[in-house]
Amino acid sequence: MAWTVRGRRQLSVIEELVIRDLGVIGAASLPLGAGFTVLTGETGAGKTMVVTALGLLLGERADGQTLRRGSVAAVVEGHWVVDSRGPVAARVIEAGGELDPAGAGKAALVIGRSVNAEGRSRAFVGGRSTPVGVLGEIGQDLVVVHGQSDQIRLRSASAQRDALDRFGGAEIANQVEEFQSRFRTWTDTQSELELLTTQRDERIREAEELKAAIEEIEKLNPSQGEDVALAERAERLGNLEDLRMAAAVAHEQLSSQSAEDVPDALGLLETARRALERVSTHDASLGVIAEAINNASFAVSDASAQLASYLAGLDADGGLELEAVQERRAELSSLARKYPGGLAEAIEFLAVGSRRLMELDQDSDRIEQLNQEVTENRNQLVESGRQLSDLRRKFAAELSSRVTEELKALAMAESELQIEVQSGEDFTVSGGDQVSFLLKPHRGAEPRPLGKGASGGELSRVMLAIEVVIAATDPVPTFIFDEVDAGVGGASAIEIGKRLFRLSKSAQVIVVTHLPQVAAFANNHLRVLKSTEGEITESSIQQLDEEQRVEELTRMLSGLTESESGLAHARELLKSAQEFA
């Protein structure tokens, strides 16, 4: 596993790691802190579970198989001290978490993760439940983890390019950012051009269909609600004779213009009013009723006038109009059936389709414009890529020289690291460079790619040398090395211990190792103890004092913790390391 950290300047420290029910570890608390911490113990004791626990805190995938047998869930908790104004603190606050003041511009941060048997997990940052992805974002600013698998990763071209870019710091990072911006611009315009070009025939057909549809709508020129109004008009015209007859009968009953002997409503009301008025002098209440009848007469007269107007307004040639209305309705109905939303959608389509047609009609102009833009963007991309390549070559020479010097101190005195940067114009988002790390094992030998010419032990030392050199320009808060010293022994192991100690002067270093020569240089020694009592193997973690360290180094040297010669050798090794410090 590995987390790459770019251009960070934030210092942070893991103060304590708490583990419960993870693998063979039932319950353990690891006091860590600044400097160089080493974890040792017998094979199978659970040292790797410590790295697994840190991986969970930093967003690694959860696996229910890592739970201790019989447990409900594994819980991991990390206590960090971070820069109170750094990016980690900002991301924690953004996620809703809380930080406790720790003095001198620092803040205390607690990160937690639980995993159940089904592999489901929950993450906590600053006391607040958060998505696991937040742990990964924070982890990029906190820790770089190197395991034996990273020896394989170091062989990849992308990992080698990333290492070179990290060494280049802000200068390369800024140029990479500019290149990526130009790359996105070029690919966007290129994609649009390809889309327009490959879909040209389809877009021509679409334009033709749009033109036909728009012409049909424009020819009919429908208006909103016209179909409803025509339906009402058709209903009226279709019943024209019935309407005329009913209106005529009603008008005749209200105000007859035929023979005088045919009574109508107005005449009857007038007769009633006069009869009451003749005797109203004998009873005033009849006068009131006579007035009411007079008002009713006015209302009937008004209704009669309206009926007369209605009859006059009825078209004499309603049949011809009905035919025209029905023809218009048929045309509108035919149009409406072509659109799910009916006539209203057809009218709306006229505006939308016109805009789309205008866009399609401009394809030729747009293609010509895009061709020019693609050419210009490509030229700018090539120039930006050239500048990036020049920077990479510059820093490749410097990184090669510095790592080679480190290798001399790591018992690889005749080895030389050569970094080649081969440039081309087959660009990806990372540029057009092929970065290759070549190792020349001794004078006169041909340099070979790391993946082909280096042993596991040599890869461990090369990886450590690279990290030591890069740390000078791209500080990392915490390094965790998981047995990256595998395949190394003797004088080489001592030099690795020295380099790890020097690295701990500028960063927190945590190392899982089997080598006493490496463990002797730590200022904090933790031992993982395995107990086989009972049915379940269980491990615990112990912080060692001076005498206990001698005992553990003796075990690592000879396997005999009470051997006098082994104890003497362990004390000598520890003294030598302390004198170096």
Which pLDDT does position 319 carry in this prediction?
59
Which pLDDT does position 198 carry in this prediction?
73
Kindly list the distances between the CA atom of residue 242 and the CA atoms of 253, 317, 320, 345, 415, in Å, as whole numbers in the listed order.
17, 15, 17, 36, 113
Q: What CA–CA distance (Å, rounded) separates 193 from 202?
A: 15
Which pLDDT does position 9 carry in this prediction?
40
Does residue 230 contact residue 328 with C-beta atoms inside 8 Å?
yes
Architecture of the structural domain at 10-142+517-543: 3-Layer(aba) Sandwich (3.40)
Containing 275, the helix (H) or strand (E) segment is: helix 265-279
Does residue 35 contact residue 88 with C-beta atoms inside 8 Å?
no
Q: Other CB atoms closer than 10 Å to residue 164's CB: what's the count?
A: 25
**3-class state of residue 530 by DSSP:** strand
Which pLDDT does position 10 carry in this prediction?
41
pLDDT profile of the chain (581 residues), mean per 10: 35 89 86 93 78 87 78 91 89 91 89 89 92 87 72 76 92 95 95 80 76 84 84 73 75 72 78 85 85 88 85 65 78 85 85 79 76 94 96 96 88 89 91 92 85 73 85 81 74 85 89 91 91 65 92 86 82 89 71
Which pLDDT does position 377 carry in this prediction?
95
Which pLDDT does position 345 carry in this prediction?
85
Which pLDDT does position 417 carry in this prediction?
93
Does residue 41 contact residue 530 with C-beta atoms inside 8 Å?
yes
- Domain locations in the chain? 10-142+517-543
Write out pLDDT tens, residues 50-85.
888 888 898 888 877 778 777 888 999 999 999 888
User: Residue 362 is encoded by which pair of tokens?
Assistant: 């401009």
